[in-house]
């Protein structure tokens, strides 16, 4: 795999992971950040953040397992 593509995919997954963790932090520890959402919105937002976190972790695992040692700089 081209190193630039590997770096892009990895940074994208890391950004999603950080976004999900920040969302979960806000949702669970800073109720004032939730605004006037309904209870359904709250649970949907929690579920969405968890799904994003799981997806990001899975993508990072796949990149490390299959492509980390094969990522090469293209000259």
| Domain ranges within the chain, ordered by starting residue | 3-67
Kindly report the pTM of this predicted structure: 0.84
For 11-68, write each residue's pLDDT tens digit.
999 999 999 999 999 889 876 656 666 778 888 889 999 999 999 999 999 999 999 8
Q: So what's the pLDDT on residue 50? A: 98
3-state secondary structure of 40: helix
- Could you tell me the pLDDT band of residue 75, with boundaries at 50, 70 and 90? very low
Angle, in degrees to the nearest 10, between helices 39-62 and 3-29 = 150
pLDDT at residue 74 tops 70: no
Q: So what's the pLDDT on residue 63? A: 95
Burial bucket for residue 69 (CB in 10 Å: 0-12, 13-18, 19+): exposed
Measured distance CA(75)–CA(62) in Å, rounded: 25
């Amino acid at each position: 795999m081209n190193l630039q593509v590997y770096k892009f995919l990895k940074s994208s997954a890391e950004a999603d992971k950080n976004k999900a963790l920040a969302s979960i932090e806000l949702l669970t520890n800073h109720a004032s950040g939730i605004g006037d959402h309904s209870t359904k919105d709250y649970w949907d937002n929690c579920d969405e953040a968890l799904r994003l976190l799981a997806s990001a972790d899975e993508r990072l695992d796949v990149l490390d397992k299959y492509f980390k040692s094969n990522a090469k700089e293209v000259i």
